[in-house]
Structure 1
Amino acid sequence: MTESIPYNGQHILAELHDASGLADPAWIEHALRAAAEAAHATVIDVRLHAFGPGQGITGVALLAESHISIHSWPEHRYAAIDIFLCGHRCDPEAALATIARHLDARVENYRMIPRGYGVENNTTR
């Protein structure tokens, strides 16, 4: 029988307010790549969908360690951020701080959720 090694991950769900650059695909991609670098994560690819001039963007940085995503509403200067990183060397809070800095945004609130097997989780329904 093989003994299971605990898997560790951290998942941040964050609300950004008073953000700028939320309709600019090139700037959003730059922010996602910079966030991955700050977190010590490895970018595999970045995919974005812009909903039209002046409208929001949905984007995801696919990482070897999981993902960082954004959904933006420029008309409200709001973005929803999702950062899921695996392993002990990655720093999801550094990724969040970097995105907020690049978007000149205020982090209104965020939740850090431990993920994985071998990790005790609180269940929310």
Structure 2
Amino acid sequence: MQGLHLIADLYQCDCEPAVLLDRDVLEKRCVDFCQAAGLTPLGAYFYQFSHDNGDKAGVTGTVVLAESHVAIHTWPETRAVTLDVYVCNFSRDNSDRARAVFQHLIALLQPGEVMEKDVMRGELPVTA
């Protein structure tokens, strides 16, 4: 279960509005970035939120990978996004692939401010 989990809160995103507002646009880009990095998408589920008047609002979605997942949530009204990219390293080290997807998504979203954390998951504690 050992793997890399990249987590980011993105603020002041200056991307095309459709990236934050349109489920189809965001889903395609997420899946494409995973495939281009050499990861294996097994499926994706993205949900389109709408305002009471029917206009598109934010998007929440996930790409399930053979190696684990990508999760993304947008708040277009505040130009904010939360992003998780997690990969397992069971049969190979997928860390560079995870970093590639993460960096492509950050470049797409064009945040003015990024708060990020890298977490190594599944590391056994050292015992004395």
TM-score normalised by length of structure 2: 0.78
Equivalent-residue separation in structure 1 for 2:66 and 2:113 (angstroms)? 26
Equivalent-residue separation in structure 1 for 2:115 and 2:68 (angstroms)? 22
Aligned residues of 2:48 and 2:56 also touching (Cα < 8 A):
no
Task: Report the alpha carbon displacement of residue 64 of structure 1 after superposing the two structures with TM.
Answer: 0.3
The alignment status of 1:69 with 2:74, answered yes or no, reads: no
Equivalent-residue separation in structure 1 for 2:113 and 2:86 (angstroms)? 17
Aligned residues of 1:17 and 1:78 also touching (Cα < 8 A):
yes
Q: 1:39 aligns with which of 37, 40, 51?
A: 37
Equivalent-residue separation in structure 2 for 1:113 and 1:44 (angstroms)? 23
Task: Report the alpha carbon displacement of residue 54 of structure 1 after superposing the two structures with TM.
Answer: 3.1
SS in 1 for 2:77: helix
Equivalent-residue separation in structure 1 for 2:6 and 2:66 (angstroms)? 17
Equivalent-residue separation in structure 2 for 1:86 and 1:61 (angstroms)? 14
1:15 maps to a residue whose letter is D
Equivalences for residues 3-82 of structure 1 within 5 A: 7-19=1-13, 20=15, 21-52=19-50, 53-82=55-84
TM-score normalised by length of structure 1: 0.80
Equivalent-residue separation in structure 2 for 1:71 and 1:12 (angstroms)? 14
Cα RMSD, aligned residues only: 1.8
Q: What percentage of residue pairs aligned between the two structures are identical?
A: 27
1:58 maps to a residue whose letter is T
* Runs of at least 5 residues in structure 1 that lack an aligned partner in the other structure: 1-6
- Label 1:72 to 1:41 Cα distance change in 2 as closer, same or farther (>3 A): same
The alignment status of 1:92 with 2:98, answered yes or no, reads: yes
Q: How many residues align?
A: 113
Equivalent-residue separation in structure 2 for 1:102 and 1:42 (angstroms)? 21
Equivalent-residue separation in structure 1 for 2:112 and 2:37 (angstroms)? 19
Task: Report the alpha carbon displacement of residue 33 of structure 1 after superposing the two structures with TM.
Answer: 1.1
